[in-house]
Amino acid sequence: MATHRTKMLIIGSGPAGYSAAIYAARAMLEPIVVQGLQPGGQLTITTDVENYPGFRDVVQGPWLMEEMKAQAEHVGTRMMWDTIVSVDLENGPPYKAIGDSGDEYIGDTLVICTGAQAKWLGVPGEQELGGKGVSACATCDGFFYRGKKVAVIGGGNTAVEEALYLTNHSDNVTLIHRRDELRAEKILQDRLLKHPKISTLWNKTVKRFEAGEDGALHHLVLEDTVTGESSTLEVDGAFVAIGHAPATELFKGKLAMDDSGYLDVEPGTPKTALPGVFAAGDVTDHVYRQAVTAAGMGCMAALDGERFLATMEQATAEPETEAAE
Ligand code: NDP
């Protein structure tokens, strides 16, 4: 079991973590990235990426993350194949974290980029048809259903926003909700209910996603929550939008978070309430949730971390200067 020290400890390896690492490494902070259980994050389970700037042609999510990782390593980041299982934020800075390997990580600053994961229904066909009609991100995949028939499952803000977004690509969007009342904000509900391209199916749950002969999604098998009746809905794409779960279990009771578990930061910055502890990407952002916004926030966290360290160094250097004079 080893101890690893760094000026910037980055937990998580999605676009936020790798971007923080690139900036930190170039600022000579010799960052360490502890990659976690899913190195590369959510983009490694998507396929085509068409909205990350800099690439004229479609790129693959896993490839993009490999490139970001390679870039971070190239400029001097140490990558750790480990998963943080506990953190000590009470006695810092520096802050301590323990890996699954038993190794200890000590960072003068800490950047939390543990991300979030889409919640899934957990019904047959859902995982098998991932990337073949079933998705959890309309902004990422909606474009691939231009002129096709799509459904969104859920009744919260995300589901309604996704349904509205999908009308940019499809004239036939169905929102399927398990109750007869939406949880989404009134203004979004109004927009949805008035929209000519959107229809709603109330009191329905999805029991199964079923493929056609081509192996892609063909229809949903639904069940009425009131009558128990079964029905089917033919669709080309289905977007599961029943919420996201930020990966913040490690920080419960240690950092402030909202009711859904997203870490609180000072508005417009990645600063948490603890000095030198930053949060970037989906772990703190339930609104935008894009690779490019996460990358931007990772960059901001590294820059703020660098400034924090400079202020600390100055504060410790000043008394000596005065004494010398
Ligand atoms: P929510 O938790 O608000 O909504 C989840 C929806 O999915 C609910 O309607 C829920 O149904 C339904 N659901 C949950 N589990 C299942 C299941 N197993 N089967 C069928 N349906 C299910 O999640 P959101 O992602 O919509 O929003 C998360 C947070 O982010 C909220 O605070 C939201 O306000 C915020 N947000 C804000 C945005 C904005 O301000 N523009 C945009 C997007 C999100 P039921 O209602 O019956 O519980």
With a cut of 50, which residues of the chain have pLDDT below it? 324-325
Number of other residues whose CB lies within 10 A of the CB of residue 317? 10
The answer to the question of residue 123 being in a domain is: no
The CA distance from 264 to 258, in Å, is 7
Q: Which two tokens stand for residue 142?
A: 């909606």
Backbone dihedral angles phi then psi of residue 253, each to the nearest 5 degrees? 80, -5
Q: Are 39 and 29 in contact (CB under 8 A)?
A: no
The answer to the question of residue 128 being in a domain is: no
Query: What secondary structure letter does DSSP report for 275?
Result: T
Q: 246 CB less than 6 Å from ligand 1?
A: no
Q: Which of 222, 240, 258 is the last residue of a domain?
A: 240
Per-residue confidence (pLDDT) for residue 117, from 0 to 100:
87
Q: Are 232 and 238 in contact (CB under 8 A)?
A: no
Number of other residues whose CB lies within 10 A of the CB of residue 324? 6
Q: 195 CB less than 6 Å from ligand 1?
A: no
Measure the CA angle with vertex 160, ends 173 and 113; round to 5°.
120
Per-residue confidence (pLDDT) for residue 320, from 0 to 100:
57
| Domain of residue 154, CATH code | 3.50.50.60
The answer to the question of residue 125 being in a domain is: no
Report the greatest alpha carbon distance in the chain: 86
Q: 205 CB less than 6 Å from ligand 1?
A: yes
CA–centroid distance, 157 to ligand 1, in Å, is 6
Q: 60 CB less than 6 Å from ligand 1?
A: no
The CA distance from 133 to 26, in Å, is 41
Q: 156 CB less than 6 Å from ligand 1?
A: yes
Per-residue confidence (pLDDT) for residue 43, from 0 to 100:
82
The answer to the question of residue 129 being in a domain is: no
- If one residue of 137, 161, 165, 178 were mutated to test the ligand 1 pocket, choosing by the most ligand atoms within 8 A of its CB, it would be 178
Q: Are 95 and 254 in contact (CB under 8 A)?
A: no
Q: Which of 215, 240, 265 is the last residue of a domain?
A: 240
From the candidates 82, 108, 113, 140, give the one annotated as an active-site residue.
140
* CA-closest residue to ligand 1 atom 3: 156
Per-residue confidence (pLDDT) for residue 325, from 0 to 100:
47
From the candidates 82, 108, 113, 141, give the one annotated as an active-site residue.
141
The answer to the question of residue 127 being in a domain is: no
- If one residue of 158, 185, 290, 293 were mutated to test the ligand 1 pocket, choosing by the most ligand atoms within 8 A of its CB, it would be 158
Residue listed under structure tokens 């990966």: 247
* Residue 264 sits in the same domain as residue 236: no
The answer to the question of residue 124 being in a domain is: no
Is 322 exposed, middle or buried (CB count within 10 Å of its CB: 0-12, 13-18, 19+)? exposed
DSSP letters for 67-104: HHHHHHHHTTPEEE---EEEEE-SS-SSEEEEETTS-E
Q: Are 118 and 137 in contact (CB under 8 A)?
A: yes
Q: Is 171 a catalytic residue?
A: no
pLDDT in tens, 82-141: 999 999 999 989 999 999 999 999 999 999 999 998 899 999 999 999 989 999 988 888
* Residue 16 sits in the same domain as residue 106: yes
Q: 112 CB less than 6 Å from ligand 1?
A: no
Q: Is 137 a catalytic residue?
A: yes
* CA-closest residue to ligand 1 atom 14: 242
* Residue 86 sits in the same domain as residue 154: no
The CA distance from 73 to 113, in Å, is 17
Number of other residues whose CB lies within 10 A of the CB of residue 27? 20
What's the predicted TM-score (pTM) here? 0.76
Counting the structural domains of the chain, the total is 2
The CA distance from 129 to 139, in Å, is 18
**Beta-bridge mates of residue 150:** 173, 237
* Residue 150 sits in the same domain as residue 232: yes
* Residue 248 sits in the same domain as residue 313: yes
Domain that holds residue 174: 134-240
Q: 172 CB less than 6 Å from ligand 1?
A: no
